[in-house]
Amino acid sequence: MLPLMLPASGGQRSILCLGAHSDDIEIGAGATLLQWISKGAKLNIVWCVLSGIGEREREARGSAEAFLQGAAAGNVEVMSFKDGFFPTQGEQIKEWFESLKRRFNPDLILTHRRDDAHQDHREVCRHTWNTFRDHLILEYEIPKWDGDLGQPNFYVAVEEPVLERKIELLIKHFGTQRSKHWFDEETFRGLARLRGMECRANNRYAEGFFARKLIVG
């Protein structure tokens, strides 16, 4: 399996991270971002959470700050769109996406998967593709009780200490989620091991993504 080295050590990249809810980016792509930062990539990251109110906003900002330690630059935006109602707020979300496009032109976008079972996740993905038409977009996955995990075609191998750091930060920062039966270390480690097996990662672990359009130059 041929790897695509993105980004190279010391290389400068701008990354837009999009999540419907306060823990989505961390679950779907947290180890990937930690891995790239630990390898010396100079990342300018704009981290956007579309639904975060009250304690969820505090969790979102605290977690993002921890995950972005070591990045060249990090900007966190937390919006207040109503959780569970994104499809009915399409016009307002579209306006926000258009304003984001005018402010930031990233090299890479990390967003939700198009076929995710959660309506808010699908809505974020739809607006991502509709707004950013000439960008590299990778869709991450979120495990949930719906059983909607797919077959990724893009993998980022991560070292075990990086994965453990991701899990540590998730458990630490998202107290509102720890009561959910799926939100635990076994879920996050198990999925990373499965994806690592699929791509034959040397360090056993990986995060999986879905690349709809990709040019390798």
The pLDDT of residue 81 is 97
Domain that holds residue 85: 12-211
Give pLDDT, residue 8: 64
The answer to the question of residue 105 being in a domain is yes
Q: Using one digit for the tens of pLDDT, what is the confidence trace for 34-48?
A: 999 999 999 999 999
Decide if 90 is inside a domain: yes
Q: What is the largest CA-CA distance in the chain?
A: 45
Question: Is residue 6, in this structure, part of any structural domain at all?
Answer: no
Confirm whether 4 is domain-assigned: no
How many whole angstroms separate alpha carbon 155 and alpha carbon 135?
Answer: 18
The SS3 assignment for 144 reads coil
Number of domains making up the chain: 1
Per residue in 139-186, pLDDT tens?
Answer: 999 999 999 999 999 999 999 999 999 999 999 999 999 888 999 999
Ranges of H-type helices in 10-88 = 24-38, 55-67
pLDDT of residue 216: 76
C-alpha to C-alpha distance for 48 and 68, rounded to whole angstroms: 13
Say which CATH number the domain at 84 has: 3.40.50.10320
What tokens appear for 87 in the block? 């499809």
The SS3 of residue 35 is helix
Rg (CA), the chain: 16
Query: Residue 7: what pLDDT?
Result: 66
- Give me 145's structure tokens: 């009780």
- Looking at the domain assignment, is residue 2 inside a domain? no
Question: In Å, how far are 34, 80, 182 from 207, measured between CA atoms?
Answer: 12, 28, 18
- Residue 175: inside a domain, yes or no? yes
Pairing of β 136-140 and β 108-112: parallel
pLDDT tens string, the chain, 217 residues long: the values are 445 556 666 678 999 999 999 999 999 999 999 999 999 999 999 999 999 999 999 999 999 999 999 999 999 999 999 999 999 999 999 999 999 999 999 999 999 999 999 999 999 999 999 999 999 999 999 999 999 999 999 999 999 999 999 999 999 999 999 888 999 999 999 999 999 999 999 999 999 999 998 887 6
